[in-house]
Amino acid sequence: MATDKQIAASRANGARSRGPITPEGRLRCSLLARAVVLDCESRPLFTQFLRSMQDQLQPEGMIENLMVQKMAVAQWRQLRAWGMEKATIGHDARNAGKHDPLTGDALAFRGANNRIQESDTRLDLLFARAYEIFEKCRANRQPAQGPQKSLKRKDENEE
């Protein structure tokens, strides 16, 4: 789960966000939040996080928007995994360390670390791939106004 500092930062960024402007954009954000956010998590916080990413990256078109959504989902799920790792280690340490707290902590960390590390790596790759595709799409954008004309006066161009 997100830390208090991350939550505060997301709220601050979300307050500056214009958010989705079109009804279609609002619906997409809402549907994504419903599909990704667990009942025990905050949909508004996820939506603010997604909007902050959209504001920073300024995606254009469907593919770029989908890649930003994938990045937001990957990061959200990674934060969830980190929160679960913390909770699991604490739980396992309490249960395994009833007789020897140090051994209980070590066993709990080893077990949780093995379970979470694979998910963490997979989510890092998902984020990185989505960002790579986003950057390729951005690099291939067609200029909106066509080629730039020379700013020199006509008589300067003739020399």
* Residue 58 phi, psi dihedral angles, 5° rounding: 50, 60
Q: Is the pLDDT of residue 151 over 50?
A: no
| 12 in any annotated domain | no
Decide: pTM greater than 0.85: no
| Residues 50/29, Cβ–Cβ less than 8 Å | yes
Q: What is the DSSP letter of 21?
A: -
Q: What is the pLDDT of residues 94-118, one digit of tens each?
A: 776 565 666 666 666 666 566 677 8
Distance separating alpha carbons of residues 46 and 7, to the nearest angstrom: 10
- Domain of 69 in residue numbering reads as 21-140
Best CA proximity match to 46, nearest among 37, 38, 54: 37
Helix (H, G, I), strand (E, B) or coil at 123: helix
| 54 in any annotated domain | yes
Query: Terminal CA-to-CA distance of the chain, rounded, Å?
Result: 66
| 4 in any annotated domain | no
| 77 in any annotated domain | yes
| 145 in any annotated domain | no
Q: What is the DSSP letter of 32?
A: H
Q: What is the pLDDT of residues 29-74, one digit of tens each?
A: 678 999 999 999 999 999 999 999 999 999 999 999 999 999 999 9
| 1 in any annotated domain | no
| 120 in any annotated domain | yes
Task: Work out how many domains the chain is built from and give that number.
Answer: 1
| 109 in any annotated domain | yes
